[in-house]
Structure 1
């Protein structure tokens, strides 16, 4: 599978809301394969189709090498805990820039697999953070928007200087 070019912040595509996937089949599986290879080359632990300019609700995660790739199509969060966790986040679209973001510690979500079969699962801690981060991106919410204006401005300025 080819490694695809990744949109770089502040590309307007990173603020675009993705459309639900309606066609399941060979093209979707191929796109998911491209996402895996692109994510690994970046490197990152997650990537959405939006990161490569395909505005469909699809993302992949690989939380640890050798632990397998998780693929989520048309994901939606059904429930989120009131208990919060702070975790360092970043993006393949803004390499090298990270900051701490606060999110619910545990979530329940519904999604489809590459064949279109629906699933529900619960995730907690790092797994839950990653899912929420990628769903935000599918909703056109780049992770920087989860920071205060001051933190965001400082981080962007520092990142642009180092770039």
Structure 2
């Protein structure tokens, strides 16, 4: 469909709590298509709708071919979590920086898919971290507020 502009740190929309999606309609499906185009252009592993200026509870995660199909989840909620691990995170809305963030190592996430059907994901490792990071975006939270330190990336 279309590559959209990714909002950058400082844009107030990134600090907004997103609205729940009432119905999966053509508008939401077009949004998902645009999110996919935008994510792949940006070379990220996850994108939340508010990062492209749409304040709806829609998340896309794609960890690459080894991890299977991309995940699109609408109205996601973390219903269980365990473990705690610190690791580096970056963000397409804060390019050129990374920070160490504590996240659960295991999460259960529920929501609906693009067909409007309930889905549940039991995620571990990087997928669990990605779910937490993207769901935070839906609450207006960027990883930097959870990071102990943020570092500017430099080419070596």
Task: Say what the alpha-carbon RMSD is for the aligned residues.
Answer: 1.8
TM-score (normalised: structure 1): 0.88
Note if 1:96 corresponds to 2:96. Answer: yes
Deviation at 1:87, TM superposition (A): 2.0
**Equivalent position of 2:50 in the other structure:** 50
**Aligned partner of residue 89 in structure 2, secondary structure:** strand
TM-score, normalised relative to structure 2: 0.92
Counterpart residue number, 1:121: 121
Equivalent residue number for residue 138 of structure 1: 138
| 1:115-161 Cα distance to aligned partner (Å, 9 max, x none) | 2111122100100000000000101111111023xx25xx4xx57xx
Structure 2 unaligned runs (5+)? none
Q: Deviations over 1:90-110 (max 9, x none)?
A: 111111211221111001111
Task: Summarize deviations over 1:18-73 as a string: whole Å, max 9, x none.
Answer: 00001212211111010011011112000010000000000101101473211010
Q: Which 10-residue stretch deviates more, 25-34 or 71-80?
A: 25-34
Query: How far is 1:10 from its partner?
Result: 1.2
Distance in 2 between residues matched to 1:25 and 1:69, nearest whole Å: 20
Partner in structure 1 of residue 64 of structure 2: 64
Q: Which contiguous aligned blocks of 4+ residues in structure 1 show a shift greater than 4 angstroms?
A: none
CA contact (8 A) 1:85 1:125 kept: no
Q: Secondary structure at the match of 2:129?
A: helix
SS of residue matched to 2:75? strand
What SS is found at the alignment partner of 2:131?
helix
Q: CA deviation at 1:12?
A: 0.8
Segment of structure 1 superposing worse, 32-41 or 114-123? 114-123
Query: Where do 5+ consecutive residues of structure 1 fail to align?
Result: none
How many residues were matched structurally? 154
